Amino acid sequence: MEVPLIKIEKRNDAPMALYFFTPFIAIILTILGGGIIFYILGFNPIEALKFYFITPISNLYGFSELLLKATPLCLIAIGLSFCFKSNNWNIGAEGQLTFGAIVGGGVALLFYNQDGFYILPLVILAGAIGGMIFALIPAILKTYFNTNEILVSLMLVYVSKLLLDYLVVGPWSNPEGFNFPETRQFSESSRMPLLFEGLRIHAGIFLALAAVMLSWFILYKTYLGFQIKVSGLSLKTAKYAGFKGKTMILVVFMISGACAGLAGVGEITGPIGQLHRMISPDYGFTAIIVAFLGRLNPFGIIFASLVVALTYLGAETAQIFLQIPKYTGQVFQGMILFFLLASDYLLFFKVKILNLKKNELRH
Amino acid sequence: MYKNFLRYLISAFFLLGLGTSANAEFKVGFVYVGPTGDHGWTYQHHEGRNAVEAAGIKTTFVESVPEGADAERVIRQLAQSGHDLIFTTSFGYMDPTNKVAKDFPNVKFEHATGYKREHSNVSTYSARFYEGRTLLGHIAGKMTKTNTIGYIASFPIPEVIRGINAMTLAAQKVNPNIKTKIVWVFTWYDPGKEAEAAQALIDQGADIIMQHTDSTAPVQTAEKAGVWSFGQASDMQRFAPKSILTSIIDDWAPYYVERAIAARDGTWGQQDTWHGLKEGMVAMAPYNSEMGADLVKEVEQLQKDLASGKAHSFTGPIYDQKGNMLVAEGKVADDGMLAGMSVYVKGVEGDIPK
């Protein structure tokens, strides 16, 4: 009697060119998978996919909204790539975003009704520092007390969200706002300048592009970048090479936190214009998908942030035009990650189906 | 030169976007803050939309739209894709609604529970939920054995404080020993938190639970603990058949149908609507027979009197917690005072969170 047996083996000859190609495979599979879901839900899959992926960006307004949505995702993912590349699992970017927004928003409120060219840069700087400080907590606990950074950074998300709740309900709430949980609208002096009249896209996009350039430079042209990459490939090698692991951990968390903080401050000084409880629809978590879809590569992340941003816009358009449930957006994001991980797995491991005689199994 | 070119380009793209999607059919759009299946706030707005659809008018909705940066895009997309009337059904959409309304003067906008009408194509509407609270207070005052009413409150905004006060005043009228205990949960929808709050109130001796939050968790907790409760926004009877005495129902359907027809026929005008029991925007679910026929009769009479204007939820004398007079004997509170209400009346325990 023959029994099929599945055996999983590591491939030694995994082609690296394919490694950068799997995100595209994942996206194509997601689109196919989405088409099947739409078909099962009773929609014309071609039409649904058109409303999902083409209609949202078929005019300049839509395209500018895509860039607006991609900006925070790109910024956070760039920061996360430093952590992930060096084997530091910062899951709490959402918390760092929130804390950055709190600190930046606090400065904006401090300068309420004041004018000055220096105010916006101060607000932005405060946001970056806020995110940085908040990311340092899990980093310090990891380096000096050996705690698990995944847990600590994740739990701190709730801490920062509760702090924001407290501030907008209590001490920072708008005195003329009938106790609604929100602050005053920031003055013009602490708002991001708009790039085009009538569109919401703002100067924050340059922060994201600068972050992309800078991260490319750091990762590929500096000693720090080399350390990060070696630590990511093998911690033992890094130690053997004499790298000071602790400093590097602190630095990558600081970079990551600063980027998330910038994303937060970009949202509140850009499209939102005040602090309230809904400043981020979980950008900090979605950016994890973006970072991996972009292969932790700065330019890959630009591309990935646009793709993921499109799943948000597409979900809205598909509901407006076809009344497809909006939650399909989350299904798409989930599928992208699933197919990406699956194709990576198949890239590095091969699945062998062996047919063995039953008595051979015992050996 | 470059700037001009850009401007042409932008307007061309805008026109393209409008040209491809605009058509002659009259359409109404709805923006919801929650999922259509929340069995509370959004569910009732969705029922209203169904009524508009049943009246032969085409509608569209977008659910679970966060009250942050995304709201403006969704509202704008609805305006751009040929919707003639757009209902934005949560307070957090106030600024985005007004912003989009400025750019689409031919589209009508209706914002629920807000107070800003910055352009002539923006109306606001809300319901006098407090009239329902008065009926709940009357029932609670009669039904409680422990003289303690537990109240789960969301945010200390005038609407919520008004509800607490209306309920307490009505309960005091039939039972002077009544105490109102409040737990602030600082959320509109969080079943876990709401259930915990309900349990905490029950542990403190409350034998009546009412809520100004949207999930069914409080009534289910009350059902398990064997105490009375009241449903919120929609008839929640099937979630706690033994415990629920009645529910306050937000019935948006007549208003939505009326406004949609007005917009279609060109008779729509800007207004600030605040409808209650009289117009049917606030309605009561069937009363639990455990209340007894006499009490049901009393409450139905009070309901009629509130609707006809013979009775008012805030009839003087009304005192605040410190004993200062808010409304004099024989007077009723005016809408201005109701709209800005920010102090508790006497008999409510604790302080308003600041």
Q: Is A279 on the interface with B (CB under 8 A)?
A: yes
Contact between B194 and B185 under an 8 Å Cβ cutoff? The reply is yes
Contact between B222 and B240 under an 8 Å Cβ cutoff? The reply is yes
3-state SS, residue B200: helix
Partnered with residue A351 across adjacent β-strands are A8
Judge whether A29 lies within some domain.
Answer: no
Strand pairing report for B282-284 and B244-250: antiparallel
Which residues of chain A make contact with B17, given a CB cutoff of 8 A?
Answer: 58-62
User: What share of chain B has pLDDT > 90, as a percent?
Assistant: 79
Name which of B270, B305, B256, B304 is nearest B127 in CA terms: B256
Judge whether A336 lies within some domain.
Answer: no
Which residues of chain B make contact with A278, given a CB cutoff of 8 A?
Answer: 66-68, 92
Note the pLDDT of residue A238: 79
Contacts of A275 (CB under 8 A, 6+ apart): A101, A102, A105, A109, A164, A167, A168, A172, A182, A183, A268
The CATH class for the domain spanning B129-249+282-339 reads alpha beta
Cβ-based contacts under 8 A for chains A and B: 102
Q: Which domain holds residue A140?
A: 73-296
Residues 171-200 of B with CB under 8 A from A: 186
B14-127 and B129-249+282-339 in the same fold: yes
Contacts of B244 (CB under 8 A, 6+ apart): B219, B223, B228, B229, B230, B231, B236, B237, B285, B288
DSSP assignment, residue A189?
Answer: G
What's the rounded Cα separation, in Å, for the pair A306 and A292?
13
In angstroms, what separates the C-alpha of B65 from chain A's closest C-alpha? Answer: 9
Q: Tokens in use for A324?
A: 């497809």
pLDDT digits (tens, 9 = 90+) for B245-283: 999 999 999 999 999 999 999 999 999 999 999 999 999
Judge whether A152 lies within some domain.
Answer: yes
The shortest CB-CB distance from B69 to any of A185, A271, A320 is to A271
Angle at A220 between CA A217 and CA A223, to 5 degrees: 95
Contacts of B224 (CB under 8 A, 6+ apart): none
Judge whether A64 lies within some domain.
Answer: no
The shortest CB-CB distance from A65 to any of B13, B73, B91 is to B73
Q: Tokens in use for B266?
A: 């060109």
Name which of A79, A84, A72, A253 is nearest A153 in CA terms: A253
User: pLDDT in tens for each of the 363 residues of chain A?
Assistant: 566 777 888 887 777 778 888 899 999 999 999 999 999 989 999 999 999 999 999 989 999 999 999 999 999 999 999 999 999 999 999 999 999 999 999 999 999 999 999 999 999 999 999 999 999 999 999 999 999 999 999 999 999 999 999 999 889 998 888 888 889 999 999 999 999 888 999 999 999 999 999 999 999 999 989 988 888 887 778 778 777 778 889 999 999 999 999 999 999 999 999 999 989 999 999 999 999 999 999 999 999 999 999 999 999 999 999 888 888 888 998 999 899 989 888 888 888 877 766 555 554
Note the pLDDT of residue B22: 45
In angstroms, what separates the C-alpha of B258 from chain A's closest C-alpha? Answer: 23
pLDDT at B39 over 90: no
Q: Is A179 on the interface with B (CB under 8 A)?
A: yes
State whether B80 and A61 contact (CB < 8 Å).
yes
Query: What is the identity of the amino acid at B79?
Result: A
pLDDT at B238 over 70: yes
The mean pLDDT value of chain B amounts to 91
Sorted by where each begins, the domain ranges of chain B are 14-127, 129-249+282-339
Name which of A6, A8, A19 is nearest A297 in CA terms: A19
Query: What is the identity of the amino acid at A316?
Result: E
Which residues of chain B make contact with A199, given a CB cutoff of 8 A?
Answer: 10
Strand pairing report for B27-31 and A349-357: unpaired
Q: Is B29 on the interface with A (CB under 8 A)?
A: yes
Q: How many helices (H) and strands (E) does chain B have?
A: 11, 14
Q: Of A136-140, B65-69, B240-244, give the lowest mean pLDDT range.
A: B65-69
ipTM surpassing 0.85? no
What's the rounded Cα separation, in Å, for the pair B337 and A105?
32
DSSP assignment, residue B348?
Answer: B
Note the pLDDT of residue B226: 96
Averaged pLDDT, B176-189 = 91
Contact between B41 and B188 under an 8 Å Cβ cutoff? The reply is yes
Q: What is the 3-state secondary structure (H, E, C) of B331-344?
A: CECCHHHHHCCCCC
Q: Is A168 on the interface with B (CB under 8 A)?
A: no
What's the rounded Cα separation, in Å, for the pair B222 and B208?
8
What's the rounded Cα separation, in Å, for the pair B22 and B40?
33
Q: How confident is the model at residue B13 (pLDDT cuts 50, 70, 90)?
A: very low
Note the pLDDT of residue A349: 85
Judge whether A329 lies within some domain.
Answer: no
Name which of A74, A135, A73, A69 is nearest A100 in CA terms: A135
How many domains are contained in chain A?
Answer: 1
Note the pLDDT of residue A361: 55
What's the rounded Cα separation, in Å, for the pair A263 and A257?
10
State whether B353 and A169 contact (CB < 8 Å).
yes
pLDDT digits (tens, 9 = 90+) for B73-108: 999 999 988 999 999 999 889 999 999 999 999 999
Residues 247-276 of B with CB under 8 A from A: none
pLDDT digits (tens, 9 = 90+) for B106-165: 999 999 998 899 999 999 999 999 999 999 999 999 999 999 999 999 988 889 999 999
Note the pLDDT of residue B143: 96
What's the rounded Cα separation, in Å, for the pair B317 and B319?
7
Judge whether A173 lies within some domain.
Answer: yes
Judge whether A187 lies within some domain.
Answer: yes
Partnered with residue B134 across adjacent β-strands are none
Judge whether A238 lies within some domain.
Answer: yes
CATH 3.40.50.920 fits B14-127, yes or no: no
Strand pairing report for B27-31 and B58-62: parallel
